[in-house]
Structure formats: C-alpha cells, structure tokens
Amino acid sequence: MFARTLLPLLFPALLLAACDRRDSIVRAESPPALAAAPRAQAQGQPAFAGDWAVTAAECARHPWRLSVSHVASPAGVDCSIDQLDATLAGYTAHSTCTRDGVATPGRLVLTLGPAGGRTLTVSEGPFREPVSLVRCPAGT
C-alpha cells in the first residue's frame, strides 16, 4: 500500500530531476554540417561524366558512356536525362530509358564511390540490380 501511494509522487520527481541534469541533454547550437555536394569535373561537367566499365579491362570493348544528358550501357540501355539533381552521395537523374525499343520514364541513381570519383554505382531505372563501375582512363 505504501508503494502505491509513494509511486505517483516519486515518478514526477524523478522526471524533473532528470530534466535538470545538463549533461544528459543534447543541445544542438547549430545544425550539423552536411556533406558537400559531388564535385564537378573540369569544364562544368558533373563528376560522373565520362566512360566507365564493369572492370578496367572492359573499358576498351564495353564502356558505359555517361554525360549530363545521356547514359548508354553496352547492353543496349539508352537513357535520356531530363532532369539532374545533385545529392549527398551523387546524383538522381530523372530520365527516359529505352531498351529493346521500349521507352520507359523513371529515375536513375548515380552514386559516387569514396575513391575520389573512380567508382560509380548505377541503380534503379531499368536496372534490376545495382551496377558497380570503375572510371576508364582517358583515351580508351
């Protein structure tokens, strides 16, 4: 009986005591800094622009070609980019992709890897699974 009477008085006192402790409250003086948007390459092109391939050995024979307005895969997927939005991890491309003569609107997600822009993952749109790519050297 004593605990039943004391509990309603003790609980609010404990809550107030916890609120008064300065070290238990997280205070944000300013919002956390966001990661910088993806870097642009020379001549104002986005960081993903250029030739890519599944492996470096595939660069000469089966490159992916990406530009600010277009994505073409060696498997015959051809995407026209209508709108390009920078994200914290890369870009989102609102596009229309054509495969086997069938055009489908959608979006592509282009995620830049941490290796200084040398890796890229293409996902969504007509791709069932994410495709990991490496940047091809210039002139291949």
Nearest-angstrom CA–CA distance, 87 and 83:
13
DSSP 103: E
Q: Which residues contact 39 (CB under 8 A, 6 or more apart)?
A: 47, 117
Q: What is the pLDDT of residues 38-85, one digit of tens each?
A: 455 546 788 899 999 999 999 999 999 999 999 999 999 999 999 999
Residue 9: inside a domain? no
Of 9-18, 81-90, 113-122, least confident by mean pLDDT is 9-18
In this prediction the pTM is 0.68
Q: What residue numbers bound the domain in which 73 lies?
A: 47-135
Query: Structural domain tally of the chain?
Result: 1
Report residue 4's pLDDT band, with 50, 70 and 90 as the boundaries: low
What amino acid occupies position 125? G
Residue 74: inside a domain? yes
Output 115 or 104, whichever has higher pLDDT: 104
Residue 20: inside a domain? no
- Residue from 49, 40, 60, 42 nearest 110 by CA: 49
State the pLDDT at residue 45: 80
Task: Find residue 79's DSSP bridge partners.
Answer: 71, 97
